[in-house]
Amino acid sequence: MTAQILDGKATAKTIKEELRARVEKIVEEGAVRPGLATVLVGADPASEIYVAGKHRDSEAIGINSIRKDLPEETTQEELFEVLDELNSDPACTGYIVQLPLPKHIDTDAVLEYIDPQKDADGLHPVNLGRLVLNVNKPITTPLPCTPRAAIELAKRHGIDFNGKHVVVVGRGVTVGRPIASLLTRREHNATVTLTHTGTTNLPELLKQADIVIAAAGVPHLVKAADLREDAVVLDVGVTREPDPETGKQKIKGDVEPAAKDKVAWISPNPGGVGPMTRALLMQNVVESAERAWEAEKAKR
């Protein structure tokens, strides 16, 4: 059996088309056009590529792009001044500070300095705290992009989480920890087992899973032999290793390649949750703009 593919590229393209229509709608109503800002300190090549991709996405959707490229020697106080500008600028409806930051800058302090309403990644402590506290009510704050992307990818392929046993592999703040809070909200109503590299009975738990979300960042940690034939598998973890033949960096996921010939559904890596994460970051920016516009209309 060959698994059906959870196609992140095609799904992300659809979401971006939907977002473009939403952007034009609020602009026609009189709202400020949504704007995504990126803050890059230094000249890390991988970070520069990542940031450039974000601005290409913005332009495709009709979102204004705001770039703040700062030299490596930028002090933390100087960086805070830039964040003050973005926090107060109505043209910026969401922004990210590209990681990693230079070692002389306190990353946690910088991330906490972001206005929670403009937190495009959805990882500000205030937003994560509101997610944990909010089980039943609609979410009105930015959500973590990658967990949201994994859930949206599955749902748009007709996969229902209600009543399902989801085994999450990985306890990181980017995916593992917040996705458990998202999936146990009543709107998804899943039962979640959060595992990690220190879980001693991981194969046993994987065999019980209706849905597996692998996000530990350990190549091929999840073995095909431990997965059910009716399982849905989302391979989120990314490890870059040099190809012994070409020397170029090659992406490896957390799921053993043989799984694609056993399970019911699988997301490719790359090409699965990755493109969706970029699309959902754009959605956070648009939704922040929509919320700001609704608040402005309510004042009139």
- Give the annotated binding-site residues for NADP(+): 170-172, 238
Catalytic member of 98, 164, 210, 254: 98
Which segments are annotated as binding site?
170-172, 238
DSSP string, 208-257: H-SEEEE-S--TT-B-GGGS-TT-EEEE---EEEE-TTT-SEEEE-SB-G
Element (H, E) at 14: helix 8-29
What is d(CA 212, CA 236) in angstroms, rounded to the nearest whole number? 10
Q: Which of 16, 54, 68, 118 is catalytic?
A: 54
Please, which residues bridge with residue 119 across strands?
Answer: 95
Is residue 121 annotated as part of the catalytic site, yes or no? yes
Q: Which of 139, 65, 51, 146 is closest to 99 using CA atoms?
A: 51
25 is catalytic: no
d(CA 184, CA 135): 8
**Under a CB-based contact definition with an 8 Å cutoff, are residues 114 and 82 in contact?**
no
Active-site choice (119, 121, 210, 254):
121
**Residue 117 falls in the annotated catalytic set:** no
Structure tokens at 214: 């692998």
Where does 93-202 show beta strands of DSSP type E?
94-97, 165-169, 191-195
Catalytic positions, written as ranges: 54, 98, 121
